[in-house]
C-alpha cells in the first residue's frame, strides 16, 4: 500500500470511525524506533537473554533455513510495523504445534504447526500482528519489572531462566513438553503474559492488520478455527488445551476481536487472491514435511478436522487428500477401508499428488491380494520417487506380486 493511502487510512481509523460502530481507540507503541537498551538494567538483561535464545534458535536443528520463507514472513511483519522493519528477524522452527513468539529484541519464531493452521495471509498477519503488539508495547519489560518486585530477576538470569522471560509467545506452553525446548516452554508458562497484555496485543494486532490493508475479521477466524479443531478432536490432554489454559477464554476473545473488526471496518487493500498465492508459494514446498509431523502426533480426530479444512480451502489438494487417506487408515486401526482408498485415489487426480499415494494404494492392494494393481502402483511409486529410501523394500513387494500363483 502506498504511503499516502496508509496515511489516509490512519486518519480514517483515528478520526472518522464507521458511524454504526463505536470509536476504535487506537494504541500507539511504547518502544522507540531503532532502540537498543543500555546494558545492565532490566531491559538490557532481557535483551541479553533474548540474544542468547535467538542464537540457540538460529542454530537449532529444527530451524527451517529457507531464506525465501523467512523473507516472506518478514515482509508481512514489515507491512504491519514498517517503522520497526529493520529491528525484526524471523526464524521458522519445525515443531508441529500452534505457536509464534517474539522476543524483546525483535527476534520472532514461528512454528510449523502454526503455518499449516493458517488459511490465508490475513490470518497469518493476525497472529504476527498480535506478537508485534506485545513487542511494540514492551510487554516483556513490564512482565520482567513485575517479576522483579517478587524475586530477583538477576538470579533468574544467573540460573539461565532469563530466556524463558524473554521468549514468551502466543502460546508459550502450547505443547506438553514438546518442542523448541520443553523446559523453556514449561518455564514460559510460569512467566506467561497477563490477560491484560494478551487483550492489548489482540487489539493492537487487529489495528495493525487493518492499517496494513488486511481484512481485520480474519483475526477472529484464527481463533474460531482453533476452537473448532479442539472441539473436533475429542481429545483433552494435548497441546491446545495448554494453549487455552494460558489464554483468554476463546469465546469472549472471538467476540471482542469481531467487535474490533467491525469498528475498523472493511478497508482491505491487499488482494486476497494474490496474498493466497504468495502464502502458498512460500509455504508449499514444506507442506509434505509439516503434514508428516502432524500425522506422527497420532491424533486422528484433530488431524482429520485440520486436513478437511485445508481441503475446503483448496490447499495443496493432492498432498491433503493423501494425508486424509493416512488419517483415515490409522483411525480405522490400520485396516483396509474404502474411505482411505478413496482419498488416496482422489489425491492421484491432482498434479501435486505425492508419489506416496501410489505406495499407499500398492500396500492396500498387496494385502487384498490384488497383485496386478499392487504391481502397477508400486512401479508408479518407484518411477516418481527413484531416490526413495524404501526402494529395496518396494522391490521386495514387487517380487511378492510376481511369485504368487
By CB under 8 A, residue 291 contacts another protein: no
What is residue 111's three-state secondary structure? strand
> Per-residue string for binding with Zn ion, 145-184, x by CB under 5 A?
----------------------------------------
Instruction: Name the binder of 236 from another protein, Zn ion, none, CB < 5-8 A by kind.
Output: none
Among 95, 99, 105, 328, binds another protein (CB under 8 A): 95
Among the listed ranges 125-133, 179-187, 217-225, 337-345, the one in contact with another protein (CB under 8 A) is: 179-187
| Stretch binding another protein (CB under 8 A), from 27-35, 37-45, 88-96, 313-321 | 88-96
Cβ atoms of 17 and 131 within 8 Å: the answer is no
Total number of residues that touch another protein (CB under 8 A): 36
96 belongs to the binding site for another protein (CB under 8 A): yes
Give yes or no for residue 181 binding another protein (CB under 8 A): yes
Nearer to Zn ion, 116 or 201 (CB): 201
Pairing of strands 107-111, 89-93: parallel
> Three cell numbers at 116?
499449516
CB under 8 Å to 2, separation ≥6 — which residues? none
Q: Name the minimum Å distance from CB 96 to another protein.
A: 7
Please, which residue, 60 or 87, has the CB nearer to another protein? 60
The CA-atom distances, in angstroms, between 222 and each of 78, 113, 141, 260 are: 21, 13, 27, 14
Q: Does 219 bind Zn ion (CB under 5 A)?
A: no
Distances (CA, A) of 20 to 155, 173, 256, 258, 295: 52, 39, 16, 14, 46
Please identify which residue in the block is written with the cell numbers 491446545.
240
User: How far is Cα 63 from Cα 337, in angstroms, rounded to an integer?
Assistant: 37
Residue 178 touches which of another protein, Zn ion, none (Cβ within 5-8 Å per kind): another protein
Interaction mask 343-372, another protein, x per CB under 8 A: ----------------x---x--xx-----
Angstrom distance (rounded) from CA 3 to CA 1: 7
Q: Is 398 in the site for Zn ion (CB under 5 A)?
A: no
In the window 125-164, what residues touch another protein (CB under 8 A)? none
In the bound state with another protein, the residue whose beta carbon lies nearer, of 176 and 384, is 176
Angstrom distance (rounded) from CA 42 to CA 149: 12
Across 148-158, b (16+ Cβ under 10 Å) vs e yields: eeeeebeebbe
Q: Does 201 bind Zn ion (CB under 5 A)?
A: yes
| Closest by Cα among 6, 72, 352 to 207 | 6
Cell 506416496 maps to which residue? 356
CA–chain centroid gap for 382, Å, is 33
Q: Please report, as ranges, the residues that interact with another protein according to CB under 8 A.
A: 56, 60-62, 94-96, 175-182, 237, 292-293, 295-298, 330, 333-335, 359, 363, 366-367, 389-390, 392-393, 396-397
Q: What residue ranges bind Zn ion (CB under 5 A)?
A: 198, 201
Amino acid at each position: 500500500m502506498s504511503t499516502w493511502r496508509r496515511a489516509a487510512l490512519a486518519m480514517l481509523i483515528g478520526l472518522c470511525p464507521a458511524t454504526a460502530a463505536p470509536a476504535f481507540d487506537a494504541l500507539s507503541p511504547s518502544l522507540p524506533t531503532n532502540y537498543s537498551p543500555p546494558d545492565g538494567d532490566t531491559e538490557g538483561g532481557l535483551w541479553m537473554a533474548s540474544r542468547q535464545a535467538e542464537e540457540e534458535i538460529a542454530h537449532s536443528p529444527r530451524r527451517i533455513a529457507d531464506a525465501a520463507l523467512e523473507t516472506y514472513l518478514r515482509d508481512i511483519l514489515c507491512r504491519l510495523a514498517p517503522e520497526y522493519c529493520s529491528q525484526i528477524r524471523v526464524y521458522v522452527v519445525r515443531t508441529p504445534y500452534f505457536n509464534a513468539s517474539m522476543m524483546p529484541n525483535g527476534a520472532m519464531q514461528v512454528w510449523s504447526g502454526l503455518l499449516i493452521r493458517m488459511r490465508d495471509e490475513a490470518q497469518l498477519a493476525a497472529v504476527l500482528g498480535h506478537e508485534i503488539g506485545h513487542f511494540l508495547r514492551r510487554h516483556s519489560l513490564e512482565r520482567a519489572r513485575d517479576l522483579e518486585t517478587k524475586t530477583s530477576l538477576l538470579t533468574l538470569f544467573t540460573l539461565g531462566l532469563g530466556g524463558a522471560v524473554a521468549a514468551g509467545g502466543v502460546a508459550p506452553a502450547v505443547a506438553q513438553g514438546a518442542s523448541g525446548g520443553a523446559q523453556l516452554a514449561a518455564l514460559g508458562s510460569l512467566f506467561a503474559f497477563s490477560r491484560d497484555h494478551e487483550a492489548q496485543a489482540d487489539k493492537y494486532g487487529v489495528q495493525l492488520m487493518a492499517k496494513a490493508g488486511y481484512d481485520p475479521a480474519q483475526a477472529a477466524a484464527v481463533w474460531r478455527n482453533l476452537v473448532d479443531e479442539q472441539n473436533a478432536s475429542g481429545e483433552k490432554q494435548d497441546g491446545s488445551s495448554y494453549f487455552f489454559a494460558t489464554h483468554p477464554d476463546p469465546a469472549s476473545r472471538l467476540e471482542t476481536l469481531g467487535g474490533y473488526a467491525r469498528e475498523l471496518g472493511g478497508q482491505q487493500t491487499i488482494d486476497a487472491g494474490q496474498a493466497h498465492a504468495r502464502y502458498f508459494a512460500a509455504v508449499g514446498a514444506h507442506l509434505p514435511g509439516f503434514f508428516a509431523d502432524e500425522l506422527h502426533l497420532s491424533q486422528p480426530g484433530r488431524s482429520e478436522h485440520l486436513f478437511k479444512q485445508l481441503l475446503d480451502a483448496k490447499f495443496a489438494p493432492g498432498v491433503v487428500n493423501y494425508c486424509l487417506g493416512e488419517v483415515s487408515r490409522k483411525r480405522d486401526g490400520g485396516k483396509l477401508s474404502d474411505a482411505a482408498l478413496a482419498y488416496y485415489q482422489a489425491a492421484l487426480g491432482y498434479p501435486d499428488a505425492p508419489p506416496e499415494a501410489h505406495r499407499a494404494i500398492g500396500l492396500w492392494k498387496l494385502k487384498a491380494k490384488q497383485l496386478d494393481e499392487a504391481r502397477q502402483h508400486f512401479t508408479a511409486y518407484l518411477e516418481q520417487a527413484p531416490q526413495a529410501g524404501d526402494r529395496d523394500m518396494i522391490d521386495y513387494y514387487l517380487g511378492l506380486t510376481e511369485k504368487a500363483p
